[in-house]
Amino acid sequence: MLHRIALIGALALVYVFAGRPAAAQTVQVVQDCAGVTAPGGPGGRLYTDQGGRLCSASVAVPAMSTQGGLNVYRVMNAASAAAVAVKASAGRLYSFNLCNNANAARYVRFYNSATAATTGTTPVYAGAITLSAGTCQQFTTNFGLTFSAGISMAITAANGDADATAPLAGDVSGFLGYL
């Protein structure tokens, strides 16, 4: 029986080939499987443990904050498109809940920068997160989006990587969860 596994975050799509068309199953990937080492050592391999669980040896467990959970950054934009430094050292963004209080769309960009990035430069996670007028958007990931230098963000009133159109104060509010 041949398996093809596609890892998508903490889920894996397993295609089973047994002389017939592939059947797809979604399964939960267990990180580290209680200390069991992957055959051949770590290195990004997926394997099954003795209990038949699908395990990943490649994902490092991030250190918890001193409060025992994620750090929270409160978002309430100023009347400026200037970026703000969320974290001044390497980190991971695990979640956000952002609401647009304006009557028009607003755009959020994240930068890999230990200081407030220059708005209008290319963000790390481009394609700006579009917040339609009067809506909220939530994002959560188990493994986090990695920022090797630091986490910086900007909120603008128009789309495009080079945009630096200032929104009105309080147009976007919410929070970020990071380590």
Q: Residue 129's closest CA among 109, 105, 99, 156?
A: 109
For residue 15, pLDDT over 50 is answered with no
pLDDT at 162: 85
CA distance 19 to 46: 23
pLDDT at 10: 44
The arrangement of secondary structure in 71-178, i.e. its CATH architecture, is Sandwich (2.60)
- Digit-coded pLDDT (tens) for 119-168: 878 787 755 678 888 889 998 988 889 999 999 999 999 988 888 999 99
pLDDT at 133: 85
Query: First vs last Cα of the chain: how many Å apart?
Result: 41
122 DSSP 8-state letter: P
pLDDT at 42: 45
- Percent of the chain exceeding pLDDT 90 equals 37
DSSP structure string for 128-161: EEEE-TT-EEEEEEEEEEEESS-EEEEEESS-ST
- Digit-coded pLDDT (tens) for 106-122: 999 899 999 998 887 87
pLDDT-based confidence at 21, cuts 50/70/90? very low
Domain coordinates in residue numbering, the chain: 2-56, 71-178
